[in-house]
Amino acid sequence: MIASIFKRFADNDTFYNPVATPDSRLLSVKERIKGKAFPFLASVSLTALSLGLSAAAVGPAATVGVAAGLTALSLVFTARSFGKIEKRLEEVASYDFTQLDDALRFAKRFPEQAALPAKFLRVAAAAGIPEEKIPRIYVTSSSDDFWVTRLKPFSREEHYAMVVGRKRFQNDSTESLLSGMAHEMGHTALGHSGTASLAFHVKTLPLLNLQAGVALALTGNILAGAAYTVAAYALNAVTLAKRSQYSEREADRFSLKTTGIIDAAAEEFDWDYDFEKRSKASSTTRKLLSTHPPSGQRADYIRGFGKANPEYCSQRRAALGLAR
Ligand SMILES: [Zn+2]
């Protein structure tokens, strides 16, 4: 057990780069502690602390009863929010690229991206994603959309929806799209869209934090109850953000590994980086609470990967039928 933990830490360099010179700045031990160990320990301790405080205030029986009720409630809300997403998606055009008819239909609507479906399938094959788990593409009118989700997270079958804004297909280059789509596919292949997205949607822990705060307040410690609830909420928000940022890094790396696309991918983040520099949120707030790592850092990582593995990347691109 301990040996395997050490081995995983030692394997860090290969985890970051599939070939050649390791540049383990991003998924280094430090990153893993921040993105994996800290969120896990923080969630476990917050849960234990919240239940403990509540039990001390109102007794174990009431605590367990209320906690069970809140957990059930949060699951109902989760199912509802996934239901809403599905309903919204039912109203937009969608394409299953594994079906020739759909690929042709897509090519007709976006003639400049006619070659995309075939390349998308090659990315999926290169990533070892079985056909039934290849996401269906949903085209929305929002230009911001570029995300993936599991549909019906409580069912046994895994169906994924990749949601992309229409304008992306009209304005972005095929390489930029493929790189982004490979990133989203990474989220499904690496299990982020299952458990991690559930962790994001299921609001059990915030409810338990609130339960502890209310229990404290009921015993007369109103100020302590309020202070605990706020502090626990804040810590929980940072925990979720750190976990999500780590997933984003993993998905970025997944995209690089499967597509070898460097320039188009990095340029996309350069653009976001300019936007972030102009936005009002301070970089500290963003580092603590944003679901995504800073764009400048992501662009640097992508270029670092390209520099460390030029031969590998050009082989990957050639395998997808892109310019070497
Ligand atoms: Zn992502």
Q: What is the pLDDT of residue 199?
A: 58
- pLDDT tens-place string over residues 261-273: 999 999 988 777 6
Q: Which residue do the tokens 């690089």 mark?
A: 256
The Cα–Cα gap between 163 and 89 comes to: 8
Helices (H), 140-218: 166-171, 174-189, 197-201, 204-218
Residues having C-beta closer than 5 Å to ion ligand 1: 248, 251
The model carries a pTM of 0.85
Residue 10 falls within a domain, yes or no?
no
Range of the domain at 284: 23-319
Residue 31 falls within a domain, yes or no?
yes
Residue 9 falls within a domain, yes or no?
no
Q: What is the pLDDT of residue 281?
A: 65
The Cα–Cα gap between 93 and 140 comes to: 7
The Cα–Cα gap between 21 and 155 comes to: 42
Cα 181 to middle of ligand 1, angstroms? 10
The phi and psi torsions of 9 (rounded to 5 degrees) equal -65, -40
Residue 12 falls within a domain, yes or no?
no
Cα 275 to middle of ligand 1, angstroms? 18
| CA 198 to chain CA mean position, Å | 11
Cα 191 to middle of ligand 1, angstroms? 12
Cα 249 to middle of ligand 1, angstroms? 8
Residue 14 falls within a domain, yes or no?
no
Cα 245 to middle of ligand 1, angstroms? 9
The band of 11, judged by pLDDT with boundaries at 50, 70 and 90, is very low
Cα 295 to middle of ligand 1, angstroms? 12
As for how many domains the chain has, the answer is 1
Cα–Cα distances (Å) from 119 to 149, 195, 258, 311, 318, in that order, read 21, 28, 12, 20, 11
Residue 3 falls within a domain, yes or no?
no
Residue 306 falls within a domain, yes or no?
yes
Cα 35 to middle of ligand 1, angstroms? 14
DSSP 82: H
Beta bridge partners of 140: 165
Residue 219 falls within a domain, yes or no?
yes
Cα 66 to middle of ligand 1, angstroms? 35
The band of 12, judged by pLDDT with boundaries at 50, 70 and 90, is very low
